[in-house]
Amino acid sequence: MSDVVVDLETYSEEILNIVSSNVKKYREKKGLTQLQLALEIGMSGSAYLGRAEIRKDNHRFNLVHLAKISKVLDVDIKKFFEK
* 73, 24 contact by CB (below 8 A): no
Kindly report the average pLDDT of the chain as a whole number.
95
Q: Hey, what domains does the chain have and what are their CATH numbers?
A: 3-77 (1.10.260.40)
pTM: 0.91
Confidence of residue 18 (pLDDT cuts 50, 70, 90): very high
Alpha-carbon gap, residue 31 to 17, rounded angstroms: 21
**Residue 75, phi then psi, degrees to nearest 5:** -125, 130
How confident is the model at residue 2, as a pLDDT? 74
* 38, 46 contact by CB (below 8 A): yes
pLDDT digits (tens, 9 = 90+) for 38-74: 999 999 999 999 999 999 999 999 999 999 999 999 9
